[in-house]
Structure 1
Amino acid sequence: MTSTAASPLTPTFPSKLPQVGTTIFSVMSALAAEHDAVNLGQGFPDFECDPALVDAVTQAMKAGHNQYPPMPGIPALREAVASKIEATYGRKYCANAEITITSGATQAILTAILAIVHAGDEVIVLDPCYDSYAPNIELAGGIVVRVPLTPGTFRPDFSLIGGAISPRTRALIINSPHNPSATVWSAEDMLALQELLAPTNILLISDEVYEHMVFDGAEHQSTARFPGLAARAFVVSSFGKTFHVTGWKVGTVAAPAYLTAEFRKVHQFNVFTVNTPMQYGLAEYLKEPAPYLQLPAFYQAKRDLFREGLEGSRLKLLPNTGSYFQCVDTTNVSDLNESDFCQWLVREVGVAAIPLSAFYGDGFNQGVVRFCFAKKDETLHEAIRRLKKL
């Protein structure tokens, strides 16, 4: 293993992220590989995308679309995204001035934060939250203000969110469907947030990468549906999540023209442009809405397979209304803390999971771990077989 300690000849400097090490996702994936475990930890599919999408990208390459595209994204893809949002959520964004193609959702979120957060600004995040949010805020010189979602249900507590707002609050980050808890914000939640933010100048970053994974006939309540929220929001989406191509790292940001202009000032200097043939391929593929319209049923079937397989086991299944994650309570199995349990599970049972404590700023332990069911059915059956030994 390579040491990260400075050699005597290497100049040292204060770290900008002194508390940050290797992410838990990389750690658990490496451990899973070492022990030949079924990896239900890191959130990516183990199955292929639609061959038609690969064909569309291949044709774009053969057609010569291999040089720099326009900085905000090729017009055809931005227009397709704007049309998709309007058809799905009823809000019309200007493709030219309000849609930007990004190098995945992670870059989109970092870029939005760098564009709006000044040194000393506060940004509210709702714990548990995706692990990039806090380091992004710190890199921008901002202050992370953590507000817990309600333990057990993971519902937003608007009295706590309101209590965390101060004159220095620049932005709030929300995420629905939610990683890691697999909960979904309701229309009532979004209206409550709209009312809370109405008298403020607080900006909103809405992480909606699992937008097409909402189950049991419910609809995703995108920020784009609510005029008072959309007017202050960067709405972030991910082609990687929607079309099973997480390694392509292509996402989108929809925002009002003023916010988009500020976003693009940063975007042009941290990535400038995004993979050209993939943009052309995605633009062509989006002409047919069936792949994303059918996604809720596709993942609901995998959710049901996984949940039904674990019924009767000592793992207690938490509710799942969206995303491709399933949380389970492990307290009937072990009194180990979540991190130690996950390591034990890999070594002794041969299945990798992620501790929910990794998504909390203070490492809050409640005996809950997260599995990813974005896997082939045979992968899920093998994981179920191993987990039933518990």
Structure 2
Amino acid sequence: MSRTAERVRFFTESVIREMTRWAHHYGAINLAQGFPDFPAPEPLKAAAVQAIMADHNQYAITWGSPRLRAAIAEKYARFYGMAVDPERHITVCCGATECMIATLLALLNPGDEVIVFEPFYENYGPDTWISGARPVYVPLRPPEWTFDPDELARAFSPRTRALILNTPHNPTGHVFPEAELRIIADLCQRHDAYVITDEIYEHIVYDGRRHIPIATLPGMWERTVTISGMSKSYAVTGWRIGWCIAPEDLTNAIRKVHDFLTVGAPAPLQEAGAVALEFPMDYYEQMRRDYERRRRLLVEALEELGFEVWWPQGAYYVMTDFRPFGFDDDTAFAMHLVREIGVAVVPGSSFYARPERGRTQVRFAFCKREETLQQAVARLRRLRNR
């Protein structure tokens, strides 16, 4: 008899976190894992210290402190015109990561199918298997990383329970436009499926694009769970403050799972998070400008070095093809970069259920100080001398 559960045979450990360990081991610049190496906003850090000193150090209400839930509701009204009730529609979790697994556990039954766009953030497949369901993958294809509507339609079946949407998208940077969202919405309504949408990069979009929550489209509030959090917009990936927004019946189910999964997110950091959500529009505009500079710095350098590069429309990653450098295996190339060049990246195959589709791709993260990116580019120039 196997000593481990059947579900864990369908996935491995996180390749992203593995590459971070290799970066530490070889003293490489970490452009693999998506965490900033620059400080979080000073008012946010001060608010956290103040909350700790004011003794917000015991359990908060399981589904989130009243102050934070009120701030989330106000923010969604301000940015997206969504009428969200903090008492009936919001669950605060330990990061968007817990939001996703809590939602899947709350909504899926064994044997259900979940549609996942490929390439995908590496948690979505394992989360689906852990929930007892089966992922069904639909490809996004470069250069625009769009999907074929007919291919998406064929992925739906009588067993389809949900579709996971990530926009802005990790790892490709695709920002799903309204036309694509309407195709997804129409199919989910036709097949009575949920949309579970990870919008953690909602404020990081480029070239005049705008993020559209699919929950704001006609007929979609009733069948959408919107997930976001503090990590990316406020440079606090270690705080683990995320939230789910959903209609009341779905929220009640998510809260039940969350309660027994983690009890609650860190109380003082929830109080501080409410301060961040009240930042003025200037904060988000400056953040976008800063990321646009970082994007340009890294992507233009990668193009100059000979990578095939797909410019991201949002988020802070760039997918590349490395075949001009004479490698044909993504893991071998990533390990060459971390060992010999001193830069850590993520092998592209880790974002695909069919690894061969990513065998000549690697992902770079540019959520770093400009000096860090410049140092990484200087190291990468050694590739030319290979």
Report the TM-score, using the length of structure 1 for normalisation. Answer: 0.94
Give the counterpart of 1:188 among 151, 174, 179.
Answer: 179
Give the SS at the match of 1:248: coil
C-alpha contact (below 8 Å) 1:243/1:292 kept by paired residues: no
Shift of 1:46: 1.0
Give the counterpart of 2:381 among 374, 384, 388.
Answer: 388
d(CA) in 1 for partners of 2:321, 2:277: 39
1:219-368 aligned within 5 A: 219-289=210-280, 290-363=282-355, 364-368=357-361
d(CA) in 1 for partners of 2:244, 2:381: 42
Comparing 83-92 with 105-114, greater Cα deviation is found at 83-92
Q: Could you say which residue in structure 1 is the equivalent of 2:372? A: 379
Shift of 1:200: 2.3
Letter of the aligned partner of 2:181 in structure 1?
A: M
Q: Could you say which residue in structure 2 is the equivalent of 1:95? A: 86
C-alpha contact (below 8 Å) 2:351/2:358 kept by paired residues: no
Comparing 83-92 with 311-320, greater Cα deviation is found at 311-320
C-alpha contact (below 8 Å) 2:20/2:32 kept by paired residues: yes
- Provide, for residues 41-68 of structure 1, a one-character-per-residue CA deviation record: whole Å limited to 9, x for no partner: 1111111101211110111111121111
Q: Could you say which residue in structure 1 is the equivalent of 2:129? A: 138
Give the counterpart of 2:363 among 356, 370, 385.
Answer: 370
Q: Could you say which residue in structure 2 is the equivalent of 1:106? A: 97
Shift of 1:139: 1.2
Give the counterpart of 1:16 among 4, 7, 11.
Answer: 7
C-alpha contact (below 8 Å) 1:119/1:142 kept by paired residues: yes
d(CA) in 1 for partners of 2:150, 2:326: 34
d(CA) in 1 for partners of 2:124, 2:63: 23
- Provide, for residues 295-339 of structure 1, a one-character-per-residue CA deviation record: whole Å limited to 9, x for no partner: 222211211121233342111221211101012221111232111
Q: Could you say which residue in structure 2 is the equivalent of 1:155? A: 146
Shift of 1:388: 2.0
Q: Verify: 1:121 aligned to 2:101, yes or no.
A: no
Shift of 1:292: 3.2
d(CA) in 1 for partners of 2:86, 2:190: 29
C-alpha contact (below 8 Å) 1:183/1:319 kept by paired residues: no
Letter of the aligned partner of 2:329 in structure 1?
A: N
Identity %: 36
d(CA) in 2 for partners of 1:310, 1:205: 34
Comparing 145-154 with 116-125, greater Cα deviation is found at 145-154
Shift of 1:152: 4.0
Q: Could you say which residue in structure 2 is the equivalent of 1:85? A: 76
C-alpha contact (below 8 Å) 2:322/2:360 kept by paired residues: yes
d(CA) in 2 for partners of 1:355, 1:127: 15
C-alpha contact (below 8 Å) 2:299/2:311 kept by paired residues: no
Shift of 1:206: 0.3
**Unaligned residue ranges in structure 1 (runs of 5+):** 1-5
Shift of 1:347: 1.6
1:221–1:136: structure 2 CA closer, same or farther, 3 Å change rule?
same
d(CA) in 2 for partners of 1:12, 1:191: 46
C-alpha contact (below 8 Å) 1:310/1:388 kept by paired residues: no
**Unaligned residue ranges in structure 2 (runs of 5+):** none
Letter of the aligned partner of 2:322 in structure 1?
A: T
d(CA) in 2 for partners of 1:353, 1:72: 36
C-alpha contact (below 8 Å) 1:334/1:341 kept by paired residues: no
Shift of 1:284: 2.4
C-alpha contact (below 8 Å) 2:201/2:233 kept by paired residues: yes
Shift of 1:291: 2.8
1:379–1:213: structure 2 CA closer, same or farther, 3 Å change rule?
same
d(CA) in 2 for partners of 1:300, 1:238: 21
C-alpha contact (below 8 Å) 1:124/1:171 kept by paired residues: yes
- Provide, for residues 133-155 of structure 1, a one-character-per-residue CA deviation record: whole Å limited to 9, x for no partner: 11111111111111212254321
d(CA) in 1 for partners of 2:243, 2:251: 11
d(CA) in 1 for partners of 2:5, 2:363: 34
Comparing 36-45 with 192-201, greater Cα deviation is found at 192-201
Letter of the aligned partner of 2:323 in structure 1?
A: T
Q: Could you say which residue in structure 2 is the equivalent of 1:46? A: 37
Shift of 1:389: 2.4
1:372–1:169: structure 2 CA closer, same or farther, 3 Å change rule?
same
